[in-house]
Amino acid sequence: MKTLIINLVRRISVPVVIFCLLLGTILTGCAQVATPPQSQQPADVKPIQSTALPVVAGIPRFKIATTTSLYDTGLWNYLEPMFEKKANVRLDIVYAGTGVALEYGKRGDVDAVVVHDPEAEAQFIADGYGINKRSFAFNHFLIAGPAADPAGIKGLSPEQAFKKIYEGGMADPSKVKFISRGDNSGTHSKEKLIWQAAGYKYAADVEKSGPWYVETGKGMGPCLLMANEQQAYLLADISTFLAYKGKVSVVPLVEQGALFLNVYDVMAINPDKITTAKMLPTANAFINWLMSDEVQDIIATYGVAEYGRSLFNPLKGGGCSEPGCPKLEDYTVPVK
Amino acid sequence: MAFLQTVNLEQRAGSKPLLKSINLKIDKGEVFVIIGPTGAGKTTLLRLLDLLDRPYAGDIYLDGIKATDAGVNVMEVRRRLSMVFQKPVVFNNSVFENVAYPLRVRGLDNRSITSRVEGMLEVSGLSGYAKRKAKTLSGGEAQRVALARAMIAEPQVLFMDEPTANLDPASVKAIESLIVEFNRSNNLTVVITTHDMQQGWRLAHRAGVLMQGELVQAGQPGEIFNAPRDIRVAGFVGIKNIMRGVIAWSRTGMAGVEINDRIIEAVSELPAGADVDIYIRPEEIVLSLQGLQGSARNTLAGRVKSVRVEGPLCTAMLDCGFTLEALVTARSAEEMALSEGQEIYASIKATAVKVLPVVESSI
Amino acid sequence: MQELWEALVQAVSLIARLDGEVIEISLRSLYVSAAAILIAAVICVPIGGIIHFHDFKGKRVLINVIQTFYSIPTVVVGLFVFLFISRAGPLGGLELLFTPAAIVIGQVILILPVLTGMTIAALNGVDRAVKDTALSLGASGSQAIWTIIGEARFAVVGALILGFGRAISEVGAAMMLGGNIRGYTRVLTTAISLETQRGDLVLSLALGIILIGIAMVISVIVNILLQRY
């Protein structure tokens, strides 16, 4: 068996190995003489990639799961190297919908979660998985749709708009369609909440009620592209919508409404519940850092240069005054 | 005990017998040719002898070692043997590496491999082929490489399964002279199978006729040709005018064989009533227009069915109640003005009529 | 068409100006999938050999099962491995999830059936007489087996290239197991997925073109190397 393997490696793998080594050497050599990319604006700043190797001796890896909409805007690319330097850790950011992000937390695969679904978060904490929850940013959802607005929702409240879309879709699905994330993300939760407020039972009345209601199971970006292709309505967070502005022809039709409030929270994983979670001090430092003036100031301006307005609003400074906004201590009192 | 010997060797495919009780004796330095029609079991026998397959029953002895013994290291014995297959398989690398293969598996060092391979390529007329990709060779070249490869490790016995079956005449000649060369210079024992009688006669010191899984006859080629043991051998070695009959009477070493209501007298001890096969060599038939008065015991009246002249000879097919093939000179045919439909007499000496007992096929 | 053209231009320019991140991601794709194919080869070629060279009951069925798994969806492999290496899973203690090693594991499992099955097919393709020839020339049993594998090397390396292609082009397992962590587990396919999600279709296409280019270059170079052997 031993000679089998030795012979195998010699006879069959040799060309492959030689080639890989060769190519690796060539490319690495090239990478070393490469000029670093020019930095234009904050969002595009790419941290210097110190190494492509997986293991960096001595520096612990701190893993977080973050909601997709936050990740897609590029904000984390900007914040990541700052925290790595400050806390002397490698910050590994995994992105997923809120439902999946919380699942990663429950399984102990990450040390902290950044999500935006108040109800699911409350359950997560009640089950003992999450501790030290704080809020650090907010923005709003909006309902976008074709500029022709076949359901006639422009200027309505979110609940009224959903009602119109439902009625229009049921009457003629070829004219009125609605694209749903359908992935238990924070955005999906928010959508269900609005359906409920509009007087529908989501599972019974809306889901599978007809071809007008399209469940994609995809992220916000792909949903926007689909809505664009099908000229459909959808609920989107404003940051992703702005990132896609110019790529899609759907326009914001409903932007005002108490239900649209979208608060981003951060939590540590409870080491008492998940015994493998060993990074609580780092998680706490991370939570406190997100509430710090340094990060809050960045949030206040992030995206202005590119989109003409900030993608997220900082909580510090009393920016959030609507019903549903977090209490003062939820974004000011440091965790321990 | 002979150098290479089999004792009651049998092989089967499932329940179907392929070889039946083969008892072969081959001496050291002998070229032994196994002749037999396609499907007779020649390849099966060679594979057993080369220890590639295990026999169903029986034993093989090589140089006094019982090679079929359970305790024998088959590879060790096999390394004293070598085999060239009917369709030569060359490995997908250079001619040099092909020929070096037996030395490599025996763990020789590179230096002696190089010198021995180069020497062998020279002997085999393959100098300059060393770096060629073996897969690009012609059939004849590939067979030469296969032979050189089989010989490089200096085996004591070389088995060759139809070594020239698909080759052009020039390649056949080259391979045959190499075989003779190796046999002479190395006192190599060679066992060759062939369905080509002529090749058998050319190469064999001794030959064995294998038919339907049975070693029917073994001996020097002349013996087999002149005195085939039974009608199958006679048929295979190319004997004409083979007929089946029954002995009608028998006295004092003479017998009358009845064939299609005609009686042919022959020399035979077999009793009346015995089923027999007889054959008459075409050249032993004398043709005449009137019927000869002479010592010939048989004079059959018949009619010429066809005449075919080939150079100095003429083959005439006669109808004498059964078909007879007669061989006369073209001049005689001309003088007699042999032509289709002509009445003719065929005279045959009783001693020219060979009588063989009927053998029931045992397989 | 406009988008395709832009993608092509951008791909060329990304390569031409040696964009640091693109090169880093491409290299990671290469070494992760190369590691996967090498590990898989060490496992599959002997296993394929063992299956090919032994007759046993259910061999045909086993080969059919292996062939059925050729087209196992990558996300199924991803989910399966995820459940094993997640902290809550049986191998959670190894802390493999969201590391490059996790992607390698997923890709190895993904290509195991293809590589094993194609090794068997490659060996089947070798003339049966090769084994007899080797034995008759004095090879031992295992030397004969290696001769056969050597004769099948073109087909086996073909299988390796195919397996490498499947590994480097899959996204399900890499996304699920690696997590697409920037600078750590981001490979070409997960980067493409992310850029699509972000709406940067041109960049996605450009990365896709690089991916195809890598696969093509590998295939060509390996074939050239093979010709020399």
Rg from Cα positions in chain B: 25
Q: Taking CB atoms and an 8 Å cut-off, how many pairs form between chains B and C?
A: 59
Chain segment A247-272, per-residue pLDDT in tens:
889 999 999 888 999 999 999 999 99
The whole-number pLDDT of residue C228 equals: 64
First to last CA, chain A: 56
For chain B, which ranges sit under pLDDT 50? Answer: 362-363
Q: B362: distance to nearest CA of chain C, Å?
A: 30
Query: What is the CB neighbour count within 10 angstroms for residue A110?
Result: 31
Q: Do A19 and C181 touch (CB under 8 A)?
A: no
B345 touches chain C (CB under 8 A): no
- C29-53 burial, b if ≥16 CB within 10 A, otherwise e? bbbbbbbbbbbbbbbbbbbbbebbb
Q: Which of B82, B87, B106 is the closest to C136 by Cβ?
A: B82
Exposed/middle/buried for residue B118 (C-beta within 10 Å: 0-12, 13-18, 19+): middle
User: Could you give the ipTM of this predicted complex?
Assistant: 0.83
How far is the C-alpha of A29 from the C-alpha of A23, rounded, in Å? 10
pLDDT at A303 (0 to 100): 87
Inter-chain CB proximity C147 and B78 less than 8 Å = no
Q: What is the pLDDT of residue B233?
A: 86
Query: Given an 8 Å threshold on Cβ–Cβ distance, is B85 in contact with C132?
Result: yes
Domains in chain B, CATH or no CATH each: 4-236 (3.40.50.300), 242-357 (2.40.50.100)
Find the CB nearest B83 among C130, C136, C139: C136
What φ, ψ does residue A314 adopt, rounded to 5°? Answer: -75, 150
Q: What is the DSSP letter of A248?
A: B
Consecutive H or E run containing C75: helix C74-85
Asked if pLDDT for residue A20 goes beyond 80, the answer is no
Q: Domains in chain C and their CATH numbers?
A: 2-228 (1.10.3720.10)
Of C130, C138, C154, the CB nearest to B105: C138
Q: Is the pLDDT of residue A41 over 90?
A: no
**pLDDT of res. B360:** 63
Average pLDDT over residues C175-181: 94
Place of tokens 């239900």: A259
Residue B228: partners with Cβ closer than 8 Å, 6 or more residues away: B217, B234, B237, B239, B356
The subunits that touch chain A, with at least 3 C-beta pairs less than 8 Å apart, are C
pLDDT reading at C229 higher than 80:
no
pLDDT digits (tens, 9 = 90+) for C193-209: 888 877 777 788 888 98
* Residue A89 contacts C where some CB pair is shorter than 8 Å: no
Report the length, in residues, of chain C: 229
Q: What is the pLDDT of residues C114-158, one digit of tens each?
A: 999 999 999 988 878 899 999 999 999 889 988 998 898 888 888
Give the per-residue pLDDT at A32.
33
Closest Cα of chain C to B356: distance in Å?
Answer: 41
Q: Residue B2's beta-bridge partner residues? A: none
What pLDDT was estimated at residue B119? 94
For residue B52, list chain C residues with Cβ-Cβ distance below 8 A: 132, 135-136
Is the CB of A224 less than 8 angstroms away from the CB of C199? yes
CA distances from A276 to A107, C97, C176, C181 (A): 9, 13, 20, 21
Q: Which residue of C has its CA nearest to A64?
A: C181
Q: Report the relative pairing of strands B298-310 and B343-348 from DSSP bridges.
A: antiparallel
* C168-183: burial string, b at 16+ Cβ within 10 Å, e else: bbbbbbbbbbbbbbbb
Task: Of C161, C150, C94, C104, give the one whose Cα is nearest residue C126.
Answer: C150
Question: For the residues of C158-220, what is the DSSP string, one character each?
Answer: HHHHHHHHHHHH--HHIIIIITT-TTTT--HHHHHHHHHHHT-HHHHHHHHHHHHHHHHHHHH
Q: Which of residues 51-70 of B touch C (CB under 8 A)?
A: 52
Say which CATH topology domain A140-260 has.
D-Maltodextrin-Binding Protein; domain 2 (3.40.190)
Residue A106, H or E segment: helix A98-107
For residue A13, name the pLDDT band (cuts at 50, 70, 90).
very low
- Rounded distance, CA A64 to CA A269, Å? 10
- The structural architecture, per CATH, of the domain A60-139+261-332 is 3-Layer(aba) Sandwich (3.40)
Given a cut of 60, whether residue A274 has pLDDT beyond it is: yes
Residue-wise pLDDT for A320-329, tens only, equals 888 888 988 8
Q: What is the DSSP string of B299-310?
A: EEEEEEEEEEEE
Distance to chain C for A266, nearest Cα, Å? 19
Rg (CA), chain A: 23
Domain with CATH 3.40.190.10 in chain A: 60-139+261-332, 140-260
pLDDT in tens, A206-243: 998 899 999 998 888 889 989 999 999 999 999 889 88
Which residue of A11, A219, A274 is in closest CB contact with C197? Answer: A219
pLDDT classification of A317: cutoffs 50, 70, 90: confident
Cβ-defined contact of B78 to C138 (cutoff 8 Å): yes
Longest dimension (CA), chain C: 65
Q: B with A: 3 or more CB pairs under 8 Å?
A: no
Whether residue C132 lies within 8 A of chain B, CB to CB, comes out as yes
C94 and chain B in contact, CB less than 8 A: no
B150/C contact by beta carbon, under 8 A:
yes
pLDDT of A39 > 80? The answer is no
Q: How far is A333 from chain C (nearest CA, A)?
A: 30
- Band (pLDDT 50/70/90 cuts) for residue A57 is low
| pTM, to two decimals | 0.72
**Are C18 and A243 in contact (CB < 8 Å)?**
no
Cβ contact (<8 Å) for A12 and C198? no
d(CA B292, CA B286): 9
Contact residues on chain C for A243, CB-CB shorter than 8 A = 198-199
B153 reaches C (C-beta below 8 A): yes
Does the CB of C133 have a partner CB in chain B at under 8 Å?
yes
